Amino acid sequence: MPRFPRPKRSAGRPSPPPRRYHHGDLKRVLVDAALELAAEGGPEQVSVREAARRAGVSPAAPFRHFASREALMSAVAEEAQRRFRTEIARAMADALADDPLARFRQLGLAYLRWAMRNPAHFTIISTRAHFDHDGSASVSRDNAELIALTGDLLAEAAARGQLRPLDLATARIAGRALVYGFARMHIDGHFPRWGVAEAEIERTAEAVLDLFVGGLIRA
């Protein structure tokens, strides 16, 4: 006797998903549930059991698809990274094509906006502790591309004589530290202490970016 007696279907009905023993697309549903959990309560709140619960499945079921919580988190990270990458690409498509410094600024702004609007997902893809970056080829590739892009934009700006004399590698890293730090200050709740109200944050982000870029250009 089956432990989960299949509910009798009234004859001709085409079957609204009434609890089959095999879920069908559990892997994807688990990742989605985990993304939700992260968005709701931060990365630490993601639990295999709760994801299973939301998928309507037993606590052990997820382990057929993910060997560990960490493996689930890696899948979550890859999905988050995919969304991040898409958003950045969209922003860069909108940016002026012929001014590398303007594109650099636009890249920084898009990065900041996505990070601040998706704090949990940003944290997951940004913090080694939450999943194994090196284990994900796509995340590594995306990151490498983004890093290369910032380098290219700065190099192009330098080639056009827009920059004061400075070390490009240092400027690249400083720029990243700036936007990463700003995003994390927001996520980690620093801004109230700095007298920056929620409503001012995006404006402040632009001001900070402009100040930084202003410090790079030839006077």
Binding segment toward DNA, per CB under 7 A, in 10-18, 50-58, 82-90, 197-205: 50-58
Contact partner, 95, from a second copy, DNA, none, Cβ < 5-8 Å per class: none
Rounded to 5 degrees, φ, ψ at 163 are: -105, 150
Least separation in angstroms between residue 169's CB and a second copy is: 8
Distance CA 38, CA 36 (A): 5
Binding segment toward DNA, per CB under 7 A, in 64-72, 111-119, 129-137, 140-148: 64-72
DSSP per position, 22-62: S-SSHHHHHHHHHHHHHHHH-GGG--HHHHHHHHT--TTGG
How far is the CA of 129 from the CAs of 5, 74, 77, 218, in angstroms?
43, 11, 12, 40
Among 144, 145, 159, 160, binds a second copy (CB under 8 A): 144
CB atoms within 10 A of CB 153: 22
Which tokens sit at 209?
């970016």
Distance CA 189, CA 185 (A): 6
Among 5, 8, 11, 170, binds a second copy (CB under 8 A): 170
The reply on whether position 179 binds a second copy by CB under 8 A is yes
Q: What's the angle, vertex CA 157, arms to CA 152 and CA 159, rounded to 5?
A: 90
Contact partner, 20, from DNA, a second copy, none, Cβ < 5-8 Å per class: DNA
DSSP letter at 162 equals -
Residue 39: what residue type? Answer: A
Among 9, 18, 58, 96, binds DNA (CB under 7 A): 58
Contact partner, 63, from a second copy, DNA, none, Cβ < 5-8 Å per class: DNA
Among 7, 21, 193, 199, binds a second copy (CB under 8 A): 193
User: Contact residues for DNA (CB under 7 A)?
Assistant: 1-4, 6, 20-24, 26, 46-50, 52, 57-61, 63-65, 67-70
User: Contact residues for a second copy (CB under 8 A)?
Assistant: 42, 44, 126-129, 133, 140, 143-144, 147, 164, 166-167, 169-174, 176-182, 184-185, 188-190, 193-196, 204, 207-208, 211-212, 214-216, 219
